[in-house]
């Protein structure tokens, strides 16, 4: 039987030494599941350990400011996950007394917890017989049961959910759930799967038919939108740079970033706009080569422009939306990774002008 084979394999060959394993703490299970969305295990481990040290439980996370949570998430990407994590922690404390609901149905009603994540928490923390369907599990089920097509398409997704629910074991659901995730991560990989060592290869449709490269199907090609903007890197005499906190909605929501202007803005117009917005006299001293950053749904070309100022903007000092960031604070600040790289290189760039 499929589920029994997965359980036996997991107990002997599955992963047992990851920092969030060997626990039924719903907080740690939840945190790991959110961090692992669209992110490799090797990348997640150091972020998880650092995050847990600062926020050891849901109460500590709920009590923190979003800006601090984002600073601990900075570099992990997909920042809506961190914002939803913070919202969810506050909802658990406010509405559930700091205790995670014990069922997948209740968990799925919390901010940022979808059907599969809710099932993973319920299965791993509470032993509920609940089906998960993350990216790795979709691949395992699609190949084994011969469910062709792109998993994001409605009919394919429904077929995968039906297969996931049909295979649930009566007992050992935590080992089965962990086994599915381990199998997809270590053996049933996207490319070059290790089929000869797979515990369910004898009944796998894709292995039998030689179609592991075709199942599941890749996302259909699409034209990626492109955004281009000028980033104003405004430094004062000490080397501190003026940053603004982005709106919670949109890319890099809640993070600090240089002010953005039109891609083709001239030096004269840029200096005028900075004076108008920040009451700041700054002069352009150079422009850097464009920097390309790829998001999941579009490409972003950043055109950094270097400016110097002898003073500080009154507007920035009086507003929670702006702040001067010293070079010594760049590593720990809530910054997108490409912006952090630009700022760390800013002293050298300024010296070259």
Question: Taking 80 as the threshold, does the pLDDT of residue 44 lie above it?
Answer: yes
Position 318 scores a pLDDT of 44
Q: Is residue 245 located within the same domain as residue 333?
A: yes
Phi-psi region of 307 (alpha: psi -120 to 50; beta: other; left: phi over 0): beta
Query: What is the extent of the structural domain holding 83?
Result: 2-131+167-186
Q: Does residue 197 lie in a domain region?
A: no
Question: Within 13 Å of residue 254, how many CA atoms lie on the same side as its CB?
Answer: 21
Sequence-ordered list of residues with C-beta below 8 angstroms from that of 254, at least 6 positions apart, any chain: 66, 67, 70, 79, 82, 83, 245, 246, 247, 248, 334
Residue with the larger pLDDT of the pair 318 and 68 = 68
User: How far is C-alpha 206 from the chain's CA centre?
Assistant: 30
> Are residues 94 and 234 both part of a single domain?
no
Residue 249 is predicted with a pLDDT of: 82
Taking only the tens place, the pLDDT of each residue in 283-293 is 999 999 999 99
User: The domain that contains 47 carries what CATH number?
Assistant: 1.10.340.30
Cis check for the bond before 252: say yes or no (omega within 30 of 0). no
217 found inside a domain: no
User: Is 102 in the same domain as 182?
Assistant: yes
- 249/116 same-domain check: no
Q: What span, in angstroms and rounded, lies between the C-alpha atoms of 271 and 137?
A: 53
Which residue among 157, 186, 215 closes a domain? Answer: 186
Annotated catalytic residues are 33
Choose one of 154, 186, 218: the last residue of a domain.
Answer: 186
pLDDT at 316: 46
Distance from C-alpha of 350 to C-alpha of 344, rounded to nearest angstrom: 11
Long-range contact pairs involving 274-278 (C-beta distance under 8 Å, separation at least 24): 274/232, 274/234, 274/307, 277/315, 278/242, 278/313, 278/315, 278/316, 278/322
155 in a structural domain: no
Torsion 263-269-271-274 (CA) sign: negative
Do 316 and 259 fall within a single domain?
A: yes
Helix axes 135-145, 154-166, angle to 10 degrees: 80
Asked if the structure places residue 342 within a domain, the reply is yes
Q: How far apart are CA 244 and CA 320, in angstroms?
A: 9
Distance of alpha carbon 225 from alpha carbon 235, whole angstroms: 31
Same domain, 310 and 176: no
The pLDDT, as a whole number, for residue 312 is 55
> Do residues 231 and 182 share a domain?
no
pLDDT higher than 80, residue 320: no
pLDDT in tens, 46-103: 999 999 999 999 999 999 999 999 999 988 988 999 999 999 999 999 999 999 999 9
- pTM equals 0.79
In a domain? residue 45: yes
The answer to the question of residue 143 being in a domain is: no
* Same domain? 240 vs 117: no
- Is 219 a member of any domain? no
| pLDDT value of residue 197 | 96
Closest CA to 258 of 275, 279, 234, 294: 234
Report the domain count for the chain. Answer: 2
Q: 309 and 257 in one domain?
A: yes
CA–CA separation, 190 and 138 (whole Å): 11
Sign (positive/negative) of CA torsion 252, 253, 256, 257?
positive
| CATH number of the structural domain spanning residue 231 | 3.90.79.10
DSSP H or E segment with residue 300? strand 299-309
In-domain check, residue 308: yes
User: Predicted confidence band at 23 (pLDDT cuts at 50, 70, 90)?
Assistant: confident
Give residue 317's Cα distance to chain centre: 31
Residues 173 and 247 in one domain: no
CB 131 within 8 A of CB 108: no
Tell whether 30 and 108 lie within a shared domain: yes
Name the strand (E) or helix (H) holding 301: strand 299-309
User: Looking at the structure, do residues 274 and 173 belong to the same domain, yes or no?
Assistant: no
């Amino acid at each position: 039987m499929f589920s029994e084979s997965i359980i036996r394999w997991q107990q002997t060959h599955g992963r047992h030494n990851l920092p969030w394993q060997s626990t039924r703490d719903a907080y740690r299970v939840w945190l790991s599941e959110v961090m692992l969305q669209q992110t490799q295990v090797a990348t997640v481990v150091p972020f998880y350990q650092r995050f847990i040290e600062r926020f050891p439980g849901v109460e500590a996370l709920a009590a923190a400011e979003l800006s601090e949570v984002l600073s601990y998430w900075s570099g992990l990407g997909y920042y809506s996950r961190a914002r939803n994590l913070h919202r969810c922690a506050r909802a658990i404390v406010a509405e559930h007394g700091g205790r995670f609901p014990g069922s997948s149905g209740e968990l799925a009603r919390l901010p940022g917890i979808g059907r599969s994540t809710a099932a993973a928490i319920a299965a791993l923390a509470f032993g509920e017989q609940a089906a998960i369907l993350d990216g790795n599990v979709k691949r395992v089920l699609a190949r084994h049961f011969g469910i062709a097509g792109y998993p994001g398409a409605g009919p394919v997704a429904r077929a995968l959910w039906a297969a996931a629910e049909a295979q649930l074991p009566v007992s050992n659901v935590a080992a089965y759930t962990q086994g599915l995730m381990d199998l997809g991560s270590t053996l049933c990989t996207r490319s070059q799967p290790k089929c000869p060592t797979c515990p369910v290869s004898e009944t796998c449709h894709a292995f039998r038919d030689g179609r592991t490269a075709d199942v599941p199907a890749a996302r259909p090609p699409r034209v990626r939108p492109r955004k281009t903007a000028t980033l104003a890197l405004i430094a004062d005499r000490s080397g501190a740079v003026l940053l603004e906190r982005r709106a919670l909605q949109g890319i890099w929501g809640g993070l600090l970033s240089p002010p953005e202007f039109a891609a083709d803005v001239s030096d004269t117009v840029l200096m005028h706009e900075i004076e108008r917005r920040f009451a700041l006299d700054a002069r352009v001293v150079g422009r850097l080569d464009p920097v390309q950053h790829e998001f999941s749904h579009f490409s972003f070309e950043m055109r950094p422009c270097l400016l110097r100022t002898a003073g500080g903007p009154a507007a920035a000092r009086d507003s929670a939306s702006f702040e001067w960031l010293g070079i010594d604070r760049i590593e720990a600040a809530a910054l997108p990774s490409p912006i952090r790289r630009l700022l760390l290189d800013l002293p050298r760039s300024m010296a070259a002008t």
